[in-house]
Structure 1
Amino acid sequence: MNLMLYLAVVLIWGTTWIAIFLQQEAAATPVYVAVFWRFLLASVVMLVILKLFKRLRSLDRRDHLFCMAQGCCVFGFNFVCFYHAAALISTGLESVIFSMAVLYNALNSWIFFRQRPSARLLPAAVLGLGGIVALFWHDIQAAHPAPQLLWGVGLSALGTLGFSFGNMISTRHQRRQRDVLTTNSYAMLYGAIVMLMMALLQGDALAPALNLQWLGAMSYLALFGSVLGFGAYFTLVGRIGASQAAYSTLLFPLVALTLSTLYEGYQWHNNAIVGLVMILAGNMVMFVRWPANRKVRLA
């Protein structure tokens, strides 16, 4: 059962990147509108399920304010960055940059919760940053690197930073023993509301694109990427612990880059392979803590 949950998280979250590309390819929907529909659907489904199974917990006003902040960070503006970046660089490369969130989390935990970073942080950061440079070296060494490359990398890094801030808010919830599924559901709803407000301020048309590819990609992102992905992940956290469950993030770039190669025509170079290996090694140095006397069980 644990192995099935683990593989579900890797496959679902590893494929959401290409779903973003397919949604954008299907129709020129404004980004705020696309993100709005994704998390509106996801939040409604989550809240209904929690209500039916009597798992929806009450939150006070302060908790709701933090959920709103979490929604802006994790289910709102960070995805605005990712959606814009997907038009500039391949979604596989986006996922690789996103895998560096563990380093952001280590630094932000130090800043916000006074949790001193592990001694592993420096070598992990060196490997990770060096890997990103190697991954993009083929484009960087050009006499005039394409501006869209730099914008794509910067937006992906900014979106990952927003995701990390959302993780810090989630840590705040858990320290106060707030139910994770409840806070995530409300955060999705608030993120959708904020995206709606931004779309209205820009005068964007709110109607979804009525074609099968756009609706299919959006539904996949909402129901699989958000509802089932988070559900499987947090179930796994409860069964084997957060540290072991988080090993799944090490495999996201492998799935995403494979799909990017097949559907976006991503071209592999030797330096790209070296860069990917360095980034994954940096994450393993920082993230994986092998038990001294026992093996992690996924069966």
Structure 2
Amino acid sequence: MQNALLYLVTVLIWGSTWLAIEFQLGEVPIAVSLVYRFGLAALLLWAWCLLRRLPMRLPGSMHLSVALMAVLNFALNYFLLYQAQLYLTSAMAAIAFSTLLLMNIVNTRLFFGQPVAKRIYVGAALGIGGIAVLFAPDLTGLSLANTSLLGLLLVLSGTLSASFGNMLSVRNSRRGIGILAMNAWGMLYGTLALLALALLSGHSFVFSSQPAYLWSLLYLSLFGTVIAFGTYFALLKRMGPEKASYTIVLFPLVAVLLSSWYEGFQWQLSTLFGFALVLAGNALVLTPFHKIRQLLPHQKPATVTAPYKGS
């Protein structure tokens, strides 16, 4: 039940952040918006940790590992994703980012030597195939002649950065670093990295007073960063990268619902088919075959009656 709750919270929040990011683009430079987002998130998380008197000290040798995880998972990843949404719709960006599942499976094998069950590859393929079916009209618009290719390359680069950050997060967790402490330090280091990027780029630290910008910034900082990263890193620690990152395949479904509510997304037969593929892939990835067999009705073996031979 705990894993299911962690999955639900992560999927619902991250599925809605793609729409919220749209309200961050425009008046304020991307790097500056990200400084505001992760700076506020770091402030909130540090206040919570200090209020609860959680142990926050890290061994000196671990700061470099946490800082590198932060640069990959928070700074570089999000900077590339925000840039990509200048060229792609939120739906297209979500589709491309869902390849994090496959990247995590491959990187888990490369970095940790962990065997990966064949069903996980099949389930991942089903899930990503389902998302491709859901957004087939957007995918058909991708060509070398438009800026969609640049957007796709930016998303895939950010996704690869996030996958490497996920591997470092797992490594740090296995070395005994608490999730809240790791996130608090990580968001602080991520904010500093983004601040350096903004200063080197010559951006001025302007701020938008538009309600949409303010509310989306607060939502992205508190829910999309503090809460969602906490639940996702908890899944990484409890279930491993290849299963935890299946949330990345599921959250585009939330984006579809929000798009149909706010942007008039039209439901078609392909939409239902895509949902079916994703749900089937989810069940296959998360449920080992021996548990599936346990769910099937047990059949009693037929009783063979010996022929009557008389007395």
Q: Distance in 2 between matches of 1:107 and 1:236?
A: 18
Q: Distance in 1 between matches of 2:281 and 2:154?
A: 21
- 127-136 or 195-204, larger mean C-alpha shift: 127-136
Q: Distance in 2 between matches of 1:11 and 1:170?
A: 22
Residues 146 and 287 (structure 1), Cα distance of their counterparts in 2 relative to 1, 3 Å cut: farther
After TM superposition, give the deviation of residue 66 of structure 1 in Å.
0.9
Q: Normalising to structure 2: TM-score of the pair?
A: 0.79
After TM superposition, give the deviation of residue 34 of structure 1 in Å.
1.2
**3-state SS of 1:147 partner:** coil
Amino acid at match of 2:13: I
Amino acid at match of 1:201: L
1:80-119 CA distance string (max 9 Å, x none): 1211122222213322333332221111111111112222
Which residue of structure 2 aligns with residue 222 of structure 1?
221
Which residue of structure 1 aligns with residue 16 of structure 2?
15
After TM superposition, give the deviation of residue 271 of structure 1 in Å.
5.3
**3-state SS of 1:76 partner:** helix
Residues 291 and 11 (structure 1), Cα distance of their counterparts in 2 relative to 1, 3 Å cut: farther
Amino acid at match of 2:76: F
Task: State the identity %.
Answer: 36
Does structure 1 retain, via aligned residues, the 8 Å contact 2:104–2:245?
Answer: no
After TM superposition, give the deviation of residue 230 of structure 1 in Å.
3.4
Which residue of structure 1 aligns with residue 202 of structure 2?
203
The number of aligned residues is: 291
After TM superposition, give the deviation of residue 221 of structure 1 in Å.
0.1
| More contact order relative to length (CA 8 Å, sep ≥ 6) | 1
**3-state SS of 2:147 partner:** helix
Q: Distance in 1 between matches of 2:132 and 2:15?
A: 22
After TM superposition, give the deviation of residue 57 of structure 1 in Å.
2.4
Q: Is 2:122 the counterpart of 1:123?
A: yes
**3-state SS of 1:15 partner:** helix
Residues 124 and 228 (structure 1), Cα distance of their counterparts in 2 relative to 1, 3 Å cut: closer
Q: Distance in 1 between matches of 2:101 and 2:13?
A: 19
RMSD value, Cα: 3.3
1:207-257 CA distance string (max 9 Å, x none): 32222211111111001111232345567889xx54797775553111112
- Say which one has the larger Rg: 2
Which residue of structure 1 aligns with residue 299 of structure 2?
none
Residues 189 and 294 (structure 1), Cα distance of their counterparts in 2 relative to 1, 3 Å cut: farther
After TM superposition, give the deviation of residue 147 of structure 1 in Å.
2.3
Amino acid at match of 1:20: I
Does structure 2 retain, via aligned residues, the 8 Å contact 1:173–1:180?
Answer: no
1:260-295 CA distance string (max 9 Å, x none): 334345566665665565455445434444772888
Q: Is 2:115 the counterpart of 1:105?
A: no
Which residue of structure 1 aligns with residue 161 of structure 2?
162
Does structure 1 retain, via aligned residues, the 8 Å contact 2:98–2:249?
Answer: yes
Q: Distance in 2 between matches of 1:131 and 1:70?
A: 30
5+ long unaligned stretches in structure 1: none
